Structure 1
Amino acid sequence: MLARMTVLAREVDGGSAQDAFLADAQRYRKELLAHCYRMTGSLHDAEDLVQETYLRAWKSYNTFQGKSSVRTWLYRIATNTCLTALDSRQRRPLPTGLGAPSSDPVDDIVARDEVPWLEPLPDDSTDPSNIVGSRESVRLAFVAALQHLSPRQRAVLVLREVLQWKAAEVADAIGSSTAAVNSLLQRARAQLDAVGPSEDDALRPPESQEAQDLLARYIAAFESYNIDQLVELFTADAVWEMPPFDGWYQGPENIVLLSKTHCPADGPGDMRFVPTTANGQPAAALYMLNKATGVHEPFQMHVLAVGEDGITHVVAFHMTTFEKFGLPDTFPGRVAT
């Protein structure tokens, strides 16, 4: 799309102004992707909305008066592009956000494919050195909490508290008044206090020794099919959920029993993991053995929250491809036949 936009720009006026704009605007692609992800909870939707943002910016480039920076202008366009899209889309929850109590690990598990579930975000889609791509603002618990807000509440909270915009700037961006923005922010904060993450401040970054050690032990327990070892890794009130299945499970014993009851693996070697990061958290890509082909294929992306006393939360997203995470579609070293 960007190549087509560049060609069109050259046809219009020799391309000098638009080419310079496009070259400058590309610096903000990753942070705009993180912004649209926060708003929608979907990597795929965010990618489409960033493309739409650049297309809208190119079409309206001649109206850009330079009263704000290109970056601020792009964020205004991206925010309104997201708000328009969210008018016709459902919120993206995790199973814990559906309002049901924790599930019995030996009961049948039920897939709800009709639910537009929250999706994980590969870390290479953000820039942790930049405040708008900071780990805290894309952690799963925070993005899941945002889904409880109305689209306009989300926009105001993200612009004010993640991007640190002034209330008047936000009001101008979304076509509202400063008083309305302040009211939206107050309601958004109250809603987040009710449903928001309590774990974020205590989470260990993925590169920390504690997180690395726990991730290695977590992977080893699954790969060796020594599931009972997982009890030692989870905190007493740890939570496990695995969209598109709508149940969620609390406590190490329940998590272990769930794995023993419903995991399709039969023994050591059936599961292979590749450590990675997602949403600013340690993660592991699970390849499950396809017994018909003898090849380990993409199965789940486990995103871990590691606190002071162990693993506090795991979201095991069902995945059919790991392309967005830069990982192959068969376990490294294996070739599908």
Structure 2
Amino acid sequence: MNDFAAETERYRRELLAHCYRMLGSVDDAEDAVQETYLRAWRAYDAFEGRSSVRNWLYRIATNACRSALTHHSRRFLPSGLAGPADDPMAPTVSAAETRWVQPIPDSMLDPAAIVAGREGLRIALIAALQALPGRQRAVFILRDVLGWSAADVAQVMDTSTAAVKSMLQRARARLAEEPPDLDRPSARDGSIGLDGVLAHYIAAVEHADGAALERLLRVDARIEATPWRTWFSGRATCVPYLTHQVLGSPGDWRLLPTRANGQPAAAGYYRGSAYGILVLDPTPTGIGRITAFGDAALVQRFGFPATL
């Protein structure tokens, strides 16, 4: 057992990131990693070293995720259900029964992997991946996100390199039909400063300052908030929506800074009770996207209390 732990434990965090990309949920990803290590422990004595331990674990983890996908429906963001709303004053429409994509705390991931693969963790990509069949999804993640060779991917997937190339081609074509919104360059910590953007955003929300939020948002910014299917694209609708339906009065909201998916984020509280996690996508010209996950349980998952 000591040999098993010494050989495998170093890969736990990167396997969690892999399972998260596959499943779109931090809860499901943790379950898949637990299942991976259980299966690996049971099979460890029979492991013959024909591949690296890392590849062997990825194979088990990928199979665990594909098995999980057969039992669950696809996860979405609001933008995956319908087009943007054009009336910021109209009541928002709930889609409470939908299985939503979840954010993942940076604290659960390997810091080096976050720096190297930040684009591969962004919420928009995680949501887009959910449209791919399990095998295509795994191949795309291993080849295009993690940069594995076709031969290594074939070993993990128990198939040929020709089949890997074919699945990757189909996955790329499918994603090209509805490309994830990833072409906006993310702000780097040394340019406009991610922490500074988050601090200004927190101040604007806590002071219910719609004008300050308008200055922070890009002209083409979008706002999505689960569990609502209603979402908005463009500052002209985002700002009135925030001002009239979200912000309330100064002091209603309290936001605590955190990090999710390699991006600045905040744990949100409304009048002292946990609301959920808000993830920002800052760019050199302003905040391009705010994705709010209205799930109080996520606040505790990120290490914050249920109430303030």
Q: TM-score range by the shorter chain?
A: over 0.9
Q: Contact (CA 8 Å) 1:96, 1:241: kept in 2 or not?
A: yes
Q: Is 1:277 the equivalent of 2:259?
A: yes
Q: Is 1:181 the equivalent of 2:164?
A: yes
Shift of 1:69: 1.9
Q: Is 1:287 the equivalent of 2:269?
A: yes
Shift of 1:209: 4.1
Q: Is 1:299 the equivalent of 2:275?
A: yes
Q: Contact (CA 8 Å) 2:227, 2:294: kept in 1 or not?
A: yes
- The residue type paired with residue 315 of structure 1 is T
Report the count of equivalent residues. 307
SS for the counterpart of 1:242 is strand
Shift of 1:74: 0.6
Q: Deviations along 1:277-318, whole A, 9 cap, x unmatched?
A: 1000111111110xxxxxx12113110001110000010110
Instruction: Please report the RMSD computed on the Cα atoms of aligned residues, expressed in angstroms.
Output: 1.9
- Aligned counterpart, 2:142: 159
Unpaired segments of 5 or more residues in structure 2?
A: none
Unpaired segments of 5 or more residues in structure 1?
A: 1-17, 290-295, 332-337
Cα distance change of structure 1 residues 166 and 131 upon mapping to structure 2, 3 Å threshold? farther
- Aligned counterpart, 2:204: 221
SS for the counterpart of 1:202 is coil
Q: Is 1:268 the equivalent of 2:250?
A: yes
- Aligned counterpart, 1:316: 292
SS for the counterpart of 1:130 is helix
- The residue type paired with residue 146 of structure 2 is L
Shift of 1:129: 0.9
Q: Is 1:73 the equivalent of 2:50?
A: no
Q: Distance in 2 between matches of 1:285 and 1:140?
A: 16
Q: Deviations along 1:241-264, whole A, 9 cap, x unmatched?
A: 00110011012231121123322x
Q: Contact (CA 8 Å) 1:249, 1:255: kept in 2 or not?
A: yes
- Aligned counterpart, 1:328: 305
Cα distance change of structure 1 residues 131 and 215 upon mapping to structure 2, 3 Å threshold? closer
Cα distance change of structure 1 residues 303 and 208 upon mapping to structure 2, 3 Å threshold? farther
Cα distance change of structure 1 residues 132 and 302 upon mapping to structure 2, 3 Å threshold? closer
Candidates 22, 25, 29, aligned match of 2:12: 29
Moved more, 234-243 or 185-194: 185-194
Q: Distance in 2 between matches of 1:208 and 1:68?
A: 42
Q: Distance in 2 between matches of 1:330 and 1:262?
A: 22
Cα distance change of structure 1 residues 248 and 297 upon mapping to structure 2, 3 Å threshold? same
Shift of 1:167: 1.9
Shift of 1:183: 0.9
Q: Contact (CA 8 Å) 1:238, 1:312: kept in 2 or not?
A: yes
Report % sequence identity.
48
- The residue type paired with residue 122 of structure 2 is R
- Aligned counterpart, 1:334: none
Q: Is 1:191 the equivalent of 2:186?
A: no
Q: Contact (CA 8 Å) 2:192, 2:284: kept in 1 or not?
A: no
- The residue type paired with residue 224 of structure 1 is H
Q: Contact (CA 8 Å) 1:121, 1:278: kept in 2 or not?
A: yes
- The residue type paired with residue 110 of structure 1 is V
- Aligned counterpart, 2:187: 204
Shift of 1:193: 2.5
Considering only CA atoms, is the larger Rg found in Structure 1 or Structure 2?
A: 1
TM-score, normalised to structure 2, is 0.93
Cα distance change of structure 1 residues 119 and 306 upon mapping to structure 2, 3 Å threshold? same
Q: Contact (CA 8 Å) 1:32, 1:78: kept in 2 or not?
A: yes
- Aligned counterpart, 1:59: 42
Q: Contact (CA 8 Å) 1:31, 1:132: kept in 2 or not?
A: no
TM-score, normalised to structure 1, is 0.86
SS for the counterpart of 1:203 is coil
